[in-house]
Structure 1
Amino acid sequence: MSDDVQSWIKETVSQNPVVLFMKGTAQFPQCGFSGKAIQLLKESGVQDLVTVNVLDDAEVRQGIKDFSQWPTVPQLYVKGEFIGGSDIMNEMFESGELQALLKA
């Protein structure tokens, strides 16, 4: 895995308040989990969302898994911190924790 990809990922998550690495785009998710993640973020009122389509670049797709030490996509980052995938997001949404984190 190239250092360039790791640097780019680190820069992306640290310079944007909310970043979702996903399969597809917010307008056209390419898997159910990514679609669910986008739905939860929209329902939580996220305005400033940056999405990265991991299907566009195999190095980024593997790089984000290495970066987070998490084996699956989607992956949510808020203020540079790894939050988790769609299951964790869903649990946090149901408890109100996701909405609170995104408003903070």
Structure 2
Amino acid sequence: MSEEELFIAGSTPSHRFDGKNAVAPAAVAVADPTPAAARFVTISTNDKSKPVVLFALEWCEFCWSVRRLFKAMDVTYRSIDLDSVEYQKDGWGGDVRVALRKVTGAPTIPQIFVGGKHIGGCTETLDAFNDGSLQALLNASRVSFDADKVLDAYTLLPNWLHPR
């Protein structure tokens, strides 16, 4: 490498491509949720009248993948779109996202719950469908769905992803 390339490579010591990370990335502190947001997440994920809950972003392709799966399975679900107009007022969507992260430990969206049980994000939900555990959880939660649906759920992922 030229001197200029070495200088550029050294300018981000925690993200070097040669594996010589001189500085470990700093730990990210997780904020405490507001009581209202924590209560909202608890109530939303434990509502027996709507046992399937998708915390999503309207523009997110991984959220779209889960929506396509639920549509293919004919699953009725509640979508809480944290970037929708309804959740933008006073940063409510952000507050809910902080509370959701505290519950799940995951900073990513989507996050899916069935019958109060946290499934995970998109790939965990697709994995659960592929191995049959999602269907078992839907049955246990008395959620109706097309039990005869057969597909490789990974085909619902965005096309730009590398093949799994």
SS in 1 for 2:46: helix
Question: What's the counterpart of residue 86 of structure 1?
Answer: 122
Alpha-carbon distance in structure 2 between the residues aligned to 1:44 and 1:100 = 13
Structure 2, unpaired ranges of 5+: 1-32, 88-92, 141-164
Structure 1, unpaired ranges of 5+: 25-29
In the superposition, the TM-score normalised over structure 2's length comes to: 0.56
Task: Flag the structure with larger Rg.
Answer: 2
Q: Is the strand fraction higher in 1 or 2?
A: 1
- Structure 1 residue 45 corresponds to structure 2 residue 79: no
Alpha-carbon distance in structure 2 between the residues aligned to 1:95 and 1:80 = 20
How far residue 85 of structure 1 moved from its aligned partner, in angstroms, is: 0.6
CA contact (8 A) 1:34 1:73 kept: yes
Equivalent AA in structure 2 for residue 36 of structure 1: S
In the superposition, the TM-score normalised over structure 1's length comes to: 0.84
How far residue 46 of structure 1 moved from its aligned partner, in angstroms, is: 0.7
- Larger RCO, structure (CA 8 Å, separation 6 or more): 1
Q: Is the helix fraction higher in 1 or 2?
A: 1
SS in 2 for 1:19: strand
> What is the percentage of aligned positions where both structures have the same residue?
30
Alpha-carbon distance in structure 1 between the residues aligned to 2:139 and 2:132 = 11
How far residue 45 of structure 1 moved from its aligned partner, in angstroms, is: 2.2
Within the candidate set 38, 56, 74, 1:6 is matched to 38
Question: What's the counterpart of residue 20 of structure 1?
Answer: 54
How far residue 61 of structure 1 moved from its aligned partner, in angstroms, is: 2.0
CA contact (8 A) 1:40 1:89 kept: no
Alpha-carbon distance in structure 1 between the residues aligned to 2:70 and 2:135 = 8
Cα distance per residue 1:1-25 (max 9 Å; x no partner): 211110111011111311000001x
Question: What's the counterpart of residue 64 of structure 1?
Answer: 100
